[in-house]
Amino acid sequence: MTFEKIQGLIDAPFTPFLPDGEVNLEPIPAYAAMLQKNGLKGVFINGSSGEGYMLTDDERKRLAEAWVKAAPEGFKVIVHVGACCVRSARELAAHAAAIGAWGIGAMAPPFPKIGRVEELVKYIEEIASAAPGLPFYFYHIPAFNGAYLPMVKLLEAVDGRVPNFAGIKYTFESLYEYNQCRLYAGGKFDMLHGQDETILPCLAMGGARGGIGGTTNYNGRELTAIIDAWNRGDLEAARDHQNFSQEVINVICRYRGNIVGGKRIMKLIGLDLGPNRTPFQNVTDAEEAAMKAELEAIGFFDRCNRL
């Protein structure tokens, strides 16, 4: 099977919650419209930014339905369906296909830890077969699950065995391995860049064309501008946008990272998505004020996403 390769950046959205911790579907239409307005090509929902493993299966289904319903024309909805229980993952995959999602994906489960390529292939194979008509992306983020496995070996193992395997969302530091995966079998698989802080080097060395990011939620204009500048041959502008994006990441790292600090930035730009779920430690009001001051100091609010 062959699938369209993604061009541009896909966003990994946060899950909106009410103050009492219940899922809040109400902001999703405005959220989708904002992302498209700022250059994003779709969403990869219920993943790490969306606190997917902290949602019930029913909540994940309701979120998928809401995003598919809200998606503007041509806006891709990819549903993360990974779960510790492979039966749940298969059910979520079949549901994504039934509601008209564009694609599905899964990271390796945090438990049990997967330590061999064959174990991972079997996990992928079972899930992908539940939605055989949709492209399946493996979400490689070993810092979350300890699955530090060679991705070229994974591509070799799934090639010809998992018909709807489309590629990898690659969220790891090895630009060499990323490029080797991109080159595998003449560029057969879609290699989606997954680290917002290194888009430019992947464009330069790895020939990246698509990616999935988390800071695109609020900094998508700058991140898409890296690709636009590179495509028109303006290396200095691309460097400026990449360096600014790293400054933003430096700020959020002081406030428990993108899932916590980044989600609170959404409130600062006018789209309040509520708190994080336990066991995340939410940003306090004092921390919010301090983070806002740091962002103002680097000119973030002149360059961030617009509602």
Please say if 188 is a catalytic residue. no
Q: Which helix (H) or strand (E) holds 105?
A: strand 103-107
| Alpha helix (H) residue ranges in 192-234 | 199-201, 216-231
- 8-238: which CATH architecture? Alpha-Beta Barrel (3.20)
Residues 6+ apart with CB under 8 A from 230: 200, 203, 204, 238
Q: Would strands 136-140 and 103-107 be described as parallel, antiparallel, or unpaired?
A: parallel
Q: Which of 41, 61, 169, 263 is catalytic?
A: 169
pLDDT at residue 273 greater than cutoff 90 = yes
The answer to whether residue 27 scores a pLDDT higher than 90 is yes
95 Cβ contact list (under 8 Å, min separation 6): 61, 64
Q: CA-CA distance, 217 to 17, in Å (whole number)?
A: 16
pLDDT given for residue 38 in this prediction: 98
Q: How does pLDDT run across 174-207, given as a tens digit for each residue?
A: 999 999 999 999 999 999 999 999 999 999 987 7
31, 53, 123, 139: the active-site residue: 139
Of 81, 139, 80, 147, the closest CA to residue 111 belongs to 147
Contacts 24+ apart (CB under 8 A), 170-175: 170/140, 170/194, 171/139, 171/140, 171/141, 171/143, 171/195, 172/140, 172/141, 172/142, 172/143, 173/198, 175/201, 175/202, 175/205, 175/206
Compute the distance between CA of residue 102 and CA of residue 89 in angstroms, rounded to an integer: 17
Q: What residues does 192 pair with on adjacent strands? A: 169
Predicted local distance difference test score (pLDDT) of residue 189: 97
Q: What is the pLDDT of residues 59-89, one digit of tens each?
A: 999 999 999 999 999 999 999 999 999 999 9
Confidence of residue 56 (pLDDT cuts 50, 70, 90): very high
Give the pLDDT confidence score for residue 304 in this predicted structure. Answer: 98
**Predicted pLDDT of residue 191:** 96
In degrees, rounded to 5, the angle at the alpha carbon of residue 41 between the alpha carbons of residues 36 and 42 is 90
pLDDT band at 302 (very low <50, low <70, confident <90, very high): very high
Tokens 């492209």 belong to 135
Asked whether 282 and 276 are in contact (CB, 8 A), the reply is yes
Mean pLDDT of the chain: 97
Task: Give yes or no: 169 in active site.
Answer: yes
Residue 262 has pLDDT above 90, yes or no: yes
Q: What is the pLDDT of residues 207-220, one digit of tens each?
A: 788 999 999 999 99
pTM check: above 0.75:
yes
What the block records as the tokens of 211 is 């990616």
Q: Of 120, 113, 186, 187, which Cα lies nearest the Cα of 150?
A: 120
User: With pLDDT > 90 as the criterion, what percentage of the chain qualifies?
Assistant: 98
3-class DSSP state of 107: strand
Q: Is 83 exposed, middle or buried (0-12, 13-18, 19+ CB in 10 A)?
A: buried
Domain boundaries, the chain: 8-238
- Cβ neighbourhood burial of 6 (10 Å; 0-12, 13-18, 19+): buried
Backbone phi and psi for residue 213, each to the nearest 5 degrees, phi listed first: -130, 165
